Structure 1
């Protein structure tokens, strides 16, 4: 009887407060199981990196890769935070020093018209007794956001049939590293029963004992490094006879005296790098507010208007987590104020659809002011007040732009953040807008550029 154990992590999102325990567990568990003559495979299923952490921001995620190297992962795939949370150049060089393989089959480098140089189509691993394990990987396809940086993201059914055909007959077991989300994983299991194990992520689902879907075992370890996943497999003649999935709660793992110092050092190292870069010198405080218009809101609206050459902009108050204080403003200040990995977009709308967007804002405003929200790029607590600049609504409902009533048949361009495309409250933007995304800068970069021009050091 051959035994293989798979250790897996997913959606850590730079929650490095959990990393010392995770690292020790993965290292010690591998040593223990290998002493029992087991094959041990270790994988990460994406979104290991999140720029909300200052060290990830300061090093463009490379510090996270250094930490992962210590674990000796056998392979990893990318999540949307790696794939679209980085500029093209940052992603091109993210894995320069990685000591593990990146597996990915549904992203293409449009410039080279081939798979990215940093990714492998698949990986075949062979155990000591000759069992061959095929590792394949897919990430959530977001065509518009990948496209902005010169990547083409393909749908699952476009790539998976040919990939499975390519490795058929070469392997005994197929493992899918899936940053697709649980609903998609279930569909994949039904449609592609030749996949034995699907290690999942993206939707932050926790499958404490796994889940059997058709012929596939689904496993996933939640989010933020709160759990580590483990799948134990028993084989006879290179065929799976038994498979058991479980998770280990990170909080239950032993802490050592140096853990808190290590965790603090990660943050301090990132903040030190960011603090060394001075952006501007403010003559007075720029105060923020979640529930009303504010000086920082007005400055940020003007910043994205200037950066996109538009005259209309909208943002939500919950984006601003701190005031910007009078005096020197550093990249660390901007990161603490606006930690969200959000891109700035422009949406070209007819006058009628612009009017309809304003009605959506009015309808949702009081609800959103105190609405708690997480994910989809948002790293704050409450959505907050929605503020729109460049338009004035009169008592009779007419919208005024540049002292004239808007023309329902004319076109207008509004600047905002990509977050507004994903939330369900303003569908007009996504449904009717002609959208352009800037893939090189985040919202905080636009604000920093504007402050640099207005209040140079």
Structure 2
């Protein structure tokens, strides 16, 4: 009887507060298993990098990869945070110094239609007893965001038949490293029983004791390093799988040392210091989160957003802004703290009729959203807040919408700029249903604001 142990992490999202315990656990667990003659495979399933953390932002994710290098991962794949949270150039160099293989089967260069140089289609690990374990990987396909960033992202179901036909006969155990989400994992398990194990992520689901669909073993370990996943496989002498099991182990119960807190704090301090050193502008007055202040931050950002989108109208919500920016020298750390969201901008084009409908949706939801707590989809604030227009006026008495002071032509075409978050939240369906949407890459909203401030309030030569 041969025993194989698979350890998996996922969706850390740069939550380094759990990292020292995870690193210690993985290293110890692997040592224990290997001392018993077991084969151990350690993998990460993506979204390890998230640029809300100042150290991840300051290093373009390179610091995350350095942390991964301390584990000795056998393989990793990417999540959407790596895939669309980075520019194409940044992603192409993210793993330059990785000591592990990056596996990915459904992402291709949009121009060459070839796999990126940093990715492999599969990896076969041969145990001391000659058992061959095959690893493949898929990430969540979001064409709307991958395509304008220079990538060709493809649907897993279109690729799996050929991939399995090629690889299944070469291996004794086949493992899918999935950053697809719980629904896709279950569908794949039903449709492709040739896969033995599916390690799941992306939707932050948790299988404390795993899940079985037919003979396919599913595993999942939630998010933010709250758990580490473990899959055990037992094989007979003829290399047939006899038994599989999975569990998720809470990091809250793992060994914690006194020096962990200092390590976690050091990651934040280093990131903040790197960003503070990058000066952006010299503000003559403070920009305040309060929309009723003399110089509201949201108005400056609305202007920046319009400039980046080459439009005359923009829409944002006040809940995006978390901290005031004081007068004086502005640095990237301040912008990171007030706008930590990994949000890109979009240009939305609607007919006049549909624009009126969208504004009516926004007005209908205005009071509800003002104090509505919202999480997910890249939002790092607490509440949605007030909807603020620049270039649009709404007459609440006559229920009329004006564009740049003029009545709207129902048959005309109108383009405004906003954050991609508005496409994904359920409050404004007209954007998705009737809008022509153009994603603006590669900047996040904070870098768009930084560029605007640097031009409007430039640094003196001695300051820069």
- Please confirm whether the aligned pair reaches a TM-score higher than 0.5, indicating the same fold: yes
The match for 2:319 is 318
The whole-number CA distance in structure 1 between the counterparts of 2:347 and 2:106 is 27
Residues 234, 241 of structure 1: 8 Å contact kept: yes
The match for 1:113 is 113
Cα 1:403–1:318 change in 2 (3 A) is closer
How far 1:370 sits from its partner (Å)? 1.4
How far 1:294 sits from its partner (Å)? 7.0
The whole-number CA distance in structure 1 between the counterparts of 2:412 and 2:295 is 31
The match for 1:420 is 422
Residues 200, 220 of structure 1: 8 Å contact kept: yes
The match for 2:432 is 430
Matched, 1:238 2:261: no
The match for 1:261 is 262
1:449 to 451, 461, 464: 451
The whole-number CA distance in structure 2 between the counterparts of 1:149 and 1:102 is 20
Matched, 1:356 2:357: yes
The whole-number CA distance in structure 1 between the counterparts of 2:374 and 2:294 is 19
Matched residue SS, 2:333: helix
The whole-number CA distance in structure 2 between the counterparts of 1:126 and 1:36 is 17
The whole-number CA distance in structure 1 between the counterparts of 2:377 and 2:62 is 23
How far 1:224 sits from its partner (Å)? 0.2
The whole-number CA distance in structure 1 between the counterparts of 2:293 and 2:129 is 66
Cα 1:184–1:231 change in 2 (3 A) is same
Matched, 1:411 2:408: no
The whole-number CA distance in structure 2 between the counterparts of 1:390 and 1:6 is 55
How far 1:120 sits from its partner (Å)? 0.4
The match for 1:85 is 85
The match for 1:397 is 399
How far 1:168 sits from its partner (Å)? 2.2
The whole-number CA distance in structure 2 between the counterparts of 1:439 and 1:299 is 20
Matched residue SS, 1:202: coil
The match for 2:348 is 347
Residues 133, 175 of structure 2: 8 Å contact kept: yes
Matched residue SS, 1:440: coil
Structure 1: segments with no counterpart, 5+ residues: none
Residues 7, 231 of structure 1: 8 Å contact kept: yes
How far 1:158 sits from its partner (Å)? 1.0
Matched residue SS, 1:310: coil
Cα 1:206–1:398 change in 2 (3 A) is same
Residues 11, 202 of structure 1: 8 Å contact kept: yes
The match for 1:368 is 369
Moved over 2 A (4+): 289-294
How far 1:290 sits from its partner (Å)? 8.2
Matched, 1:96 2:96: yes
The match for 1:76 is 76
How far 1:111 sits from its partner (Å)? 2.1
Matched residue SS, 2:114: coil
Residues 309, 417 of structure 2: 8 Å contact kept: yes
The match for 2:152 is 152
How far 1:214 sits from its partner (Å)? 2.2
Moved more, 324-333 or 238-247: 238-247
How far 1:435 sits from its partner (Å)? 1.0
List aligned pairs for 1:110-259, cutoff 5 A: 110-236=110-236, 237-259=238-260
The whole-number CA distance in structure 1 between the counterparts of 2:406 and 2:249 is 62
Q: How many residues align?
A: 457
What do you get for the CA RMSD once the two structures are aligned?
1.3
How far 1:402 sits from its partner (Å)? 2.7
Deviations 1:182-224 (A, max 9, x none): 0110000000001010000000001000000122111010000
The whole-number CA distance in structure 1 between the counterparts of 2:293 and 2:370 is 9
The whole-number CA distance in structure 2 between the counterparts of 1:289 and 1:376 is 24
Matched residue SS, 2:304: helix
How far 1:303 sits from its partner (Å)? 0.7
Moved more, 300-309 or 34-43: 300-309
The whole-number CA distance in structure 2 between the counterparts of 1:50 and 1:197 is 27
Deviations 1:226-259 (A, max 9, x none): 0001111111021111112111111111111211
How far 1:307 sits from its partner (Å)? 1.3
Residues 168, 174 of structure 2: 8 Å contact kept: no
Residues 290, 382 of structure 1: 8 Å contact kept: no
Matched residue SS, 1:355: helix
Residues 291, 369 of structure 1: 8 Å contact kept: no
How far 1:297 sits from its partner (Å)? 0.8
Residues 290, 320 of structure 1: 8 Å contact kept: no
Matched residue SS, 1:78: coil
The whole-number CA distance in structure 2 between the counterparts of 1:83 and 1:403 is 40
Matched residue SS, 2:427: coil
Matched residue SS, 1:135: strand
How far 1:26 sits from its partner (Å)? 0.5
Residues 291, 384 of structure 1: 8 Å contact kept: no
Residues 186, 213 of structure 2: 8 Å contact kept: yes
How far 1:326 sits from its partner (Å)? 1.1
How far 1:364 sits from its partner (Å)? 1.0
